[in-house]
Amino acid sequence: MMPPEEDQRAVQVTVTGRVQGVGFRAWVVWEAQERGLQGWVRNLRDGGVQAVFAGPGAAVEAMLSACHQGPALAVVRQVQVAPWEGPVDPGFEVRYDR
């Protein structure tokens, strides 16, 4: 049985701290896929990581909670969350600056 449409949520997240060079993006991809989320993750030039998570509200909330911890070598200082109104492609991917 599919969850009701109104249970769907999409957010944009910016994570700061020691989150580059510690496997954060790969960890996000794995965690998001495990939760059945769609979206993307990318490094920011200022040293942060940005991601979009879309899917069932409970899965998005669980991913947001996980982002406060991150992978073993990360030191998360802040997690900023904002609603995401943009398109979200199927699947979950790492994006790179062009």
The rounded distance, in Å, linking the Cα atoms of 14 and 64 is 10
Backbone phi, then psi, for 17, in 5-degree steps? 130, -150
Q: Catalytic residue at 45?
A: no
Q: How far apart are the first and last CA of the chain?
A: 40
Q: Catalytic residue at 25?
A: yes
Which residue in 43, 77, 95, 98 is the catalytic one? 43
Q: Which residues pair with 18 in a beta bridge?
A: 75
User: Which DSSP letter does residue 77 get?
Assistant: E
The rounded distance, in Å, linking the Cα atoms of 35 and 29 is 10
Catalytic site residues?
Answer: 25, 43
